[in-house]
Amino acid sequence: MAAIGLDMVTAATSVVATLANIGPGLAKVGAVENYAFIPWGGKLFLAFLMILGRLELFSVLVLFIPDFWKR
């Protein structure tokens, strides 16, 4: 998120907020702000993080571990 031009506080808290599904972050994605200013690539990344957070990170990682499927 910092690579698309967001400041570090906004970038870090937007990632944490979407991964943990906790709602608002800090700075530009705070309680009285929204995610509308983030470019579509950043929103796509944050949507992917929301899916990871809802499905639990470890269950998604299991899908990508070949040893799990070979047993």
**Could you count the other beta carbons within 10 Å of the beta carbon of residue 50?**
15
**Whether residue 71 has pLDDT greater than 90:** no
Per residue in 11-70, pLDDT (tens digit) is 999 999 999 988 889 999 999 999 999 999 999 999 999 988 888 877 777 888 888 777
Task: Please say whether the dihedral angle defined by the alpha carbons of residues 15, 18, 19 and 22, taken in this order, is positive or negative.
Answer: positive
Residues 6+ apart with CB under 8 A from 65: none
> For the chain, what are the domain ranges?
2-70
What's the gap between Cα 45 and its chain centre?
6
What's the gap between Cα 38 and its chain centre?
13
Rounded to two decimals, the pTM is 0.77
Query: What pLDDT does 27 receive?
Result: 93
